[in-house]
Homo-oligomer: A and B are copies of this chain.
Amino acid sequence: MSTRRAETIAIGTELLGPDRIDSNGAFLSRVLGEHGYEVRFRTVVGDDPAELEEALGIALGRADLVVATGGLGPTVDDLTREAVSALLHLPLEEDAAILAELEARYRRHARTMPPTNRRQAQVPRGAEVLPNALGTAPGLLIRTDRALLALLPGVPSEMERMTRDHLLPRLDATGARRVHRVLKIAGTNESDVDHRLAEVHRSAGAVGWTILAGAGQIEIHLTEWVAPGAAAAGVERLDVAIARALGDDLFGRDEDTIEAVVGRLLSGRRETLAAAESITGGRIARRLTSVPGASGWFAGGAVVYTDAAKTTLAGLPPETLARHGAVSAETAMGLAEGIRTRLSASWGLATTGYAGPGGGTPEMPPGTVFLGLAGPSGTTSRRLLLPGVRPVVQARTAQAALDLLRRAALHAGNA
């Protein structure tokens, strides 16, 4: 299916240094793909007039659409307007409407516009001005003989808003568009998923199939080029086949997170959750409280790194600690039961383990983790041995604990 060729150019010397990366490129690849433009090259170039002109010239020589971000501000480092003007032989002219809007914006904040900001009203002859709803630098759209050139601000929020409001509606929408779907998997590993999906994968045909593995989560990214007005039949067919093959291991799609899925399950059942975290040190609570409306189903949590906190805050019986130690199935279950009782919650979830570096015993090396889950029909524990350095073990434990709860809530009887 024919697609148009796009390129993105990120402008700014700071983007070439060790401190920042061009995060705009990924957003542009997604939305341009959805509108039928495939990004073939991404370039980062500094605030150097000759190099900027060179990068723009190369891209305009081979692409149907070039989107350049950055270099539209008021300072002397902001050279995009001048480079485009020189490259395309379009003289810069002051745009009265932009100037009036800039001055009005300063007046609203009871300030006088610095003279340098006047530069932002300079427009290469013939360019269309794209309003900036969130900042001072307007965007510019220029049609050359063979390509469309969009100049957008570098600030991600301004760039994204301008792209959605003004650039995408101006693109030729008669070609194919790319549909993108992410399927999210927990509780297993990449080679297991590969194995169970081998047959489905072989049937993917023209649908793009990428598997990405993170800390305790695997994602399958499906992409399909679809004719205007048509449905993404291939993506839909594979989605059904993958869901059938993976069962409960598939926990969500696209923007879903395990914590959001857990929240929906608990809300639907009118149940609540309390957490007692030793090894995860607040990671479970942080993820749960990042879900809007969490106060409706998250009763609270205790971070119980020390023995004293385990008994005092989470109500672990001291004799459990004395008899079995802090890293044990019994302590994980005792913490889960203790915090559930203390906060009168439907479920209690607990973690304990050795995150490393150091610590552990010959029988329980760093990475050894116990999860405890207390619920309406009893208490269970689970032992894991997780790979990775300290923050990875902590993150994987939080993910595994949330997934344990998700599966239990999914299969519990009616509340």
Q: Given A40-B51, A343-B313, do A286 and B282 touch, yes or no (CB 8 Å)?
A: yes
Determine whether A58 belongs to the interface, using a CB cutoff of 8 Å to chain B.
yes
Determine whether A166 belongs to the interface, using a CB cutoff of 8 Å to chain B.
no
Q: How far is the CB of A27 from chain B (nearest CB, A)?
A: 7
CA distance A18 to B223 in the complex (A): 11
Determine whether A88 belongs to the interface, using a CB cutoff of 8 Å to chain B.
no
Determine whether A19 belongs to the interface, using a CB cutoff of 8 Å to chain B.
yes
Convert A223-236 into 0s and 1s, putting 1 for each residue whose CB lies closer than 8 angstroms to a CB of B.
10000000000000
In the complex, residue of chain B having the shortest beta-carbon distance to the beta carbon of A358? B292
In the complex, residue of chain B having the shortest beta-carbon distance to the beta carbon of A28? B18
Determine whether A127 belongs to the interface, using a CB cutoff of 8 Å to chain B.
no
Determine whether A376 belongs to the interface, using a CB cutoff of 8 Å to chain B.
no
> Which residues from B are CB-within-8-Å of A22?
21, 42
Question: Which of B25, B51, B294 is within 8 Å of A281, CB to CB?
Answer: B294
CA distance A292 to B366 in the complex (A): 13
Determine whether A189 belongs to the interface, using a CB cutoff of 8 Å to chain B.
no
Determine whether A126 belongs to the interface, using a CB cutoff of 8 Å to chain B.
no
> Which residues from B are CB-within-8-Å of A23?
21
CA distance A282 to B276 in the complex (A): 11
Q: B303, A282: Cβ atoms under 8 Å?
A: yes
Find residues 313-328 in chain A having any chain B CB closer than 8 Å to their own CB.
313
> Which residues from B are CB-within-8-Å of A16?
29, 39-42
Q: Dominant SS at the A interface?
A: mixed
Determine whether A298 belongs to the interface, using a CB cutoff of 8 Å to chain B.
yes
Q: Given A43-B41, A285-B281, A308-B300, do A18 and B180 touch, yes or no (CB 8 Å)?
A: yes
CA distance A179 to B150 in the complex (A): 36
Question: Which of B21, B308, B309, B343 is within 8 Å of A26, CB to CB?
Answer: B21
> Which residues from B are CB-within-8-Å of A302?
300-303, 313
Convert A199-229 into 0s and 1s, putting 1 for each residue whose CB lies closer than 8 angstroms to a CB of B.
0000000000010100000000101000000
Q: B312, A342: Cβ atoms under 8 Å?
A: yes
> Which residues from B are CB-within-8-Å of A212?
19-20
> Which residues from B are CB-within-8-Å of A289?
281-282, 303, 305, 394
Q: A281, B290: Cβ atoms under 8 Å?
A: yes
Determine whether A344 belongs to the interface, using a CB cutoff of 8 Å to chain B.
yes
Determine whether A91 belongs to the interface, using a CB cutoff of 8 Å to chain B.
no
Determine whether A390 belongs to the interface, using a CB cutoff of 8 Å to chain B.
yes
Determine whether A30 belongs to the interface, using a CB cutoff of 8 Å to chain B.
yes
Determine whether A188 belongs to the interface, using a CB cutoff of 8 Å to chain B.
no
> Which residues from B are CB-within-8-Å of A284?
282
Determine whether A197 belongs to the interface, using a CB cutoff of 8 Å to chain B.
no
Q: Given A29-B18, A212-B19, do A42 and B43 touch, yes or no (CB 8 Å)?
A: yes
Question: Which of B180, B306, B357 is within 8 Å of A300, CB to CB?
Answer: B306
Question: Which of B55, B277, B288 is within 8 Å of A41, CB to CB?
Answer: B55
Find residues 178-198 in chain A having any chain B CB closer than 8 Å to their own CB.
180, 182
Q: B30, A41: Cβ atoms under 8 Å?
A: no
In the complex, residue of chain B having the shortest beta-carbon distance to the beta carbon of A208? B17
Find residues 254-307 in chain A having any chain B CB closer than 8 Å to their own CB.
275, 277, 281-286, 288-290, 292, 294-295, 298-306
> Which residues from B are CB-within-8-Å of A39?
16-17
Q: Given A18-B180, A301-B302, A342-B313, do A44 and B46 touch, yes or no (CB 8 Å)?
A: no
Determine whether A45 belongs to the interface, using a CB cutoff of 8 Å to chain B.
yes
**Which 7 pairs across A and B sit closest by C-beta, in order of nearness?**
A281-B289, A300-B309, A282-B285, A18-B30, A282-B282, A301-B303, A282-B286
User: Please, could you name 12 A-B residue pairs with CB atoms under 8 Å apart, sorted by A?
Assistant: A15-B42, A21-B26, A22-B42, A42-B44, A281-B288, A282-B284, A282-B285, A289-B303, A290-B390, A290-B394, A302-B303, A302-B313
